[in-house]
Amino acid sequence: MAFPVQRPRRLRASPGLRTMVRETVLTPADFVLPLFVRPGKGEKRPIGSMPGHFQWSVDTVVGPAKEAAKLGVPAVILFGIPDKKDAKASGAYAKDGIVQRAARAVKAACPDLVVIADLCFCEYTDHGHCGIIKKDAAGFALDNDPTLELVAKTAVSQADAGFDIVAPSGMADGQVGVIRKALDGSGHKNVPILAYAVKYSSAFYGPFREAAESPPQFGDRSGYQMDPANFREALREAALDVEEGADMLMVKPGLPYLDVLSAVRERFGLPTAAYSVSGEYAMVKAAGKMGWMDEKRTALEVLTSIKRAGADFMLTYHALEAARWLGA
Ligand code: PBG
């Protein structure tokens, strides 16, 4: 039976009706707040391409973490800018490394907040790539297996520091498996792995690289991050991470890859996250600032679309603002 019996507009006629039939409801509990930590004391350095975000020091990062907890945002993910970088990314697995210290401070201040460790080396290497680099006449490559040794070491160091979840994002083959083994072998059987299973080589990471001071000094990341054109490859990547022991899967970026997110969620059934990355945030902020789009409505629409596509939770730089908007 069609029109005139069927009139879909009947259910859109009032705010009450619309609320009753709404299929996707965003809440602050859907968000994870990314935070950047740098050395020093009393720091709050604005990040130009990410208005409203700052590089914090260990003492000040506790502020936004508390704010997240207060607003009902259940988790934060920490990124570190170490005081010195080297070819072996020593700062990533130092006992008193920048994120290790930040995690201890945040857990002490907010014991119930879930603190996630991003496990990657681009912030810690002097060349800005996500692992050990092998250079030869043909160019350079990320040396996969030696990088895995550092991955294992870093995971243990992060779990020792009190991180609740380890999230490998370097796209080294086999990283989830070595992390599971290293955590299990060091008394951290119960620390879950959130695998950045599907991570594209994306222009949307631009602002992050300013924030984390991690742009590659030569070449790009297309030798290890995925080609934006590929969908089936994403499912193969996710399948490998499931097999290696991932507890949760992530797709990154979010908005330009909703098809992939939806397929990963359907196919594997694990808790699935999306990373709405720095460029997604910067676009919405910039258009809002110019008066070209309404920032609040646009941001909430983007986040709703990510949830509708299948995300159980999402990493977003709008976490605090969106939590406030939803609470109001
Ligand atoms: C890798 C990493 C990146 C982001 C988070 N972790 C990307 C990269 O530079 O390749 C990007 C996140 C964002 O853009 O918000 N350590």
285 is a catalytic site residue: no
Q: Evaluate if residue 137 carries a pLDDT over 90.
A: no
- Calculate how far, in angstroms, residue 317's C-alpha sits from the geometric centre of ligand 1: 13
Name the band, by pLDDT with cuts 50, 70 and 90, for residue 152: very high
Ligand 1: which residues within 6 Å by Cβ? 118, 120, 122, 169, 205, 208-209, 214, 221, 277-278
> What's the whole-number average pLDDT of the chain?
97
**What pTM was estimated for this model as a whole?**
0.97
Does 35 fall in a domain? yes
**Is 14 a member of any domain?**
no
What the block records as the tokens of 119 is 């496990």
Q: Which of 77, 122, 210, 257 to mutate to test the pocket of ligand 1 (most atoms within 8 A of CB)?
A: 122
235 in a structural domain: yes
Q: Could you tell me the pLDDT band of residue 250, with boundaries at 50, 70 and 90?
A: very high
Catalytic residue among 70, 85, 189, 199: 199
Residue 94 identity: A
What residue type is 84 in one-letter code? Answer: K
Q: Is residue 148 assigned to a domain?
A: yes
Alpha-carbon span 186 to 175, nearest angstrom: 17
Q: What is the pLDDT of residues 34-81, one digit of tens each?
A: 999 999 999 999 999 999 999 999 999 999 999 999 999 999 999 999
- Say whether pLDDT at 236 is over 90: yes
Q: Give the mean model confidence (pLDDT) for residues 163-183.
A: 97
**pLDDT confidence band for 328 (50 / 70 / 90):** low
Which CATH number covers residue 284? 3.20.20.70
Condensed to tens digits (0 to 9), the pLDDT of residues 184-215 reads 999 999 999 999 999 999 999 999 999 999 89
Kind plus residue range of the DSSP H or E element containing 163: none
| Dist. CA 208 → ligand 1 center (Å) | 6
Q: Is residue 6 part of a domain?
A: no
Q: How far is CA 309 from the centre of its chain?
A: 17
- pLDDT tens across 118-130, in order? 999 999 999 999 9
pLDDT class of 135 with cuts at 50, 70, 90: confident
Of ligand 1's listed atoms, the one at least distance from the Cα of 205 is 14
pLDDT at 104 exceeding the cut of 90: yes
Q: Look at residue 227 and tell me if it is in a domain.
A: yes
Task: Indicate if the alpha-carbon torsion angle 318, 320, 321, 326 is positive or negative.
Answer: positive
Q: Is 134 a catalytic residue?
A: no
Q: What is the pLDDT of residue 139?
A: 84
> From CA 155, how far away is CA 163, in angstroms rounded?
9
What does the pLDDT read at residue 136? Answer: 80
In a domain, 71, yes or no: yes
Give the span between the Cα atoms of 110 and 66, in whole angstroms: 6
Dihedral (CA of 198, 264, 167, 174) sign: negative
> Higher confidence at residue 1 or residue 106?
106
Domain membership of residue 66 as a residue range: 25-327
Please give the number of the atom of ligand 1 that sits closest to the Cα of 221: 10
Residue 276, judged by CB atoms within 10 A of its CB (0-12, 13-18, 19+), counts as buried
CA 214 to ligand 1: nearest atom:
9
Whether residue 46 lies inside any domain: the answer is yes
The structural domain count of the chain equals 1
